[in-house]
Chains A and B, each alone.
Chain A
């Protein structure tokens, strides 16, 4: 089975963003960038399926400017076989990404597409579901466990009330949640090996997707900051404050 893993270059999850003073967006100049954590989990899962002999090939794709080849290399070092970089300088929303991916799915014919459930920059949580709709594939979002069972795949999903299990026919789209696996660290030999793995670069124009944004940013501001309060000395003082000052308990 061939697995396609779309990966996104995003700000490193440890970095606290700064909003630009002209309110046009957040300042990403000189910030540390990384593979979106959920995409890393998707790559890890695909590689594990390959190690189990279930997957035959793991293809990673990233859509963005040249810099995202760095994240494709990271994924190759984790064990993916080859990369596709779809080159664009445009700001894309999830629908555009899903439309481009849908065309790539047509070309590559994967039996499974594994995406992250959400990008930690836009916090959209849309692309996998949209890809499912555009390609008419069933979806298993927020997966914490997947079991390939012949022509079907069983997905355990993290839902608000607990865990839900679905059985999907293949090909299918799955998005990863945090507890699907714990990604490995790339070993030095694998990082070296990744340098020789192929990355095909394609201009986004080849995909004929309209990249005119329908949703535009008016402004981006810093949220109201909470001021740190006081330290209380003991439980008695805490309970007194909660009752008599904050009045949140009686």
Chain B
């Protein structure tokens, strides 16, 4: 029996999450097949086929899969499921959206957001915003898993897997239709892939002041993140939110600026290698997790920091 990984991609490029899923699957026995479901996505298939330790790539192209909506994705994956012991997707908004539908249609319990694999049926996952870590064992015949990719490294390339085309003819009427997408355009690395992340919170006061972070981000090649408070206040777009219910990041360096350090924010960044906190309140909880804390007014400190780098 084999393992089915569902590739994370945007029809033109494979996302780094895919390689991390392959790394996670090294904790399981069985050969790895990767499903690339999309529309006009052959470039992605070639990238995926080059990942190490991939036995086969399943290329499925259909107009209904262009945006990987939950309903057709679930129908497709359930149709392939009989050959697999494990079905794995990234715990991104795409994976979180369709995987529980797959699980329910297969009548199995899903295990979300795993950070480690102990063996073929034992998995580790954070609960309560990461304040507790649960090890769970599953007696399901098919394991439906989403993976917190920040907990795994990617695999190298050099592989040359076979790409097999699979037909898909969606049976279901279109109850769910794609209307539009507003993509946040940025030249910076993606939050979840960046080596350095600098995030601003309510202390930034407004969106314009995020420019103070940009100069520093440019010098460090960093991605820019935010707290929920900064997003709610409209300073920056939603996809910049780091935390329990936003993105989970684990960069080499995380710089929290004007962020108090609520548990929900810590849940998204406390596995970073080095944490720096800049806050004018020396009692702010963020200092309890920071390797280096600097107490002071961010409006003084940020320009100095940009200069010093």
Can you list 21 A-B pairs with a CB-CB distance of less than 8 A? Answer: A19-B132, A95-B104, A117-B245, A120-B244, A125-B112, A126-B110, A128-B100, A133-B100, A139-B97, A139-B176, A142-B97, A154-B179, A161-B183, A163-B237, A164-B178, A179-B231, A179-B232, A214-B138, A215-B136, A216-B137, A221-B132
Q: Does B62 contact A (CB under 8 A)?
A: no
Q: Are A161 and B184 in contact (CB under 8 A)?
A: yes
Q: Does A248 contact B (CB under 8 A)?
A: yes
List, in ascending order, chain A residues with CB within 8 A of B128's CB.
Answer: 11, 17, 26, 120-121, 123
Which one, B182, B220, B228, B275, contacts A249 given CB within 8 A? B220
Bound: A221/B125 CA distance, A: 11
Q: Are B308 and A217 in contact (CB under 8 A)?
A: no
Q: Are A126 and B103 in contact (CB under 8 A)?
A: yes
Identify which of A13, A122, A137, A215 gathers the most chain B CB atoms within 10 Å of its CB.
A215
Q: Are B176 and A168 in contact (CB under 8 A)?
A: yes
Stretch from B42-50, B206-214, B293-301 contacting the other chain:
B293-301
Which one, B100, B178, B182, contacts A130 given CB within 8 A? B100
What 10 A-B pairs come out closest when comparing CB atoms?
A129-B100, A229-B291, A130-B104, A138-B175, A138-B176, A126-B100, A133-B104, A133-B101, A165-B179, A248-B253
What is the chain A residue whose CB lies nearest that of B107? A95
Q: Does B105 contact A (CB under 8 A)?
A: yes
Stretch from A54-62, A65-73, A104-112, A237-245 contacting the other chain:
A237-245
If A132-B101, A248-B252 are given as contacts, then 8 extra A-B residue pairs at C-beta distance below 8 Å, sorted by A number, are: A123-B128, A160-B94, A164-B182, A165-B180, A166-B177, A168-B175, A214-B108, A249-B253
Q: Are B295 and A167 in contact (CB under 8 A)?
A: no
Q: Are B253 and A242 in contact (CB under 8 A)?
A: yes
Q: Are A123 and B108 in contact (CB under 8 A)?
A: no
Q: Are A217 and B131 in contact (CB under 8 A)?
A: no
List, in ascending order, chain A residues with CB within 8 A of B117's CB.
Answer: none
Q: Are B301 and A235 in contact (CB under 8 A)?
A: yes
Q: Does B98 contact A (CB under 8 A)?
A: yes
Within 8 A of A (CB), among B230-288: 231-232, 237-239, 244-245, 247, 252-253, 263-264, 270, 273-276, 282, 287-288
Q: Does B82 contact A (CB under 8 A)?
A: no
Which one, A120, A164, A172, A229, contacts B129 given CB within 8 A? A120
Q: Are A123 and B112 in contact (CB under 8 A)?
A: yes
What is the chain A residue whose CB lies nearest that of B290? A229
Q: Does A29 contact B (CB under 8 A)?
A: no
Bound: A179/B233 CA distance, A: 10
Interface size on A, residues (CB 8 A): 79
Q: Does A90 contact B (CB under 8 A)?
A: no
Bound: A102/B143 CA distance, A: 22
Which one, A130, A139, A162, contacts B103 given CB within 8 A? A130
Q: Mark B167-200, 1 if CB is under 8 A from A, else 0.
A: 0000000011111111110000000100010000
Q: Does A35 contact B (CB under 8 A)?
A: no
Q: Are A248 and B132 in contact (CB under 8 A)?
A: no
What is the chain B residue whose CB lies nearest that of A219? B135
User: Given A17-B132, A179-B231, is A141 in contact with B97 using a C-beta cutoff of 8 Å?
Assistant: yes
Q: Does A192 contact B (CB under 8 A)?
A: no
Q: How many Å from the CB of B64 to the closest CB on chain A?
A: 13
Q: Does A188 contact B (CB under 8 A)?
A: no
Q: Are B305 and A235 in contact (CB under 8 A)?
A: yes
User: Given A19-B132, A95-B108, A163-B181, is A239 in contact with B245 using a C-beta cutoff of 8 Å?
Assistant: no
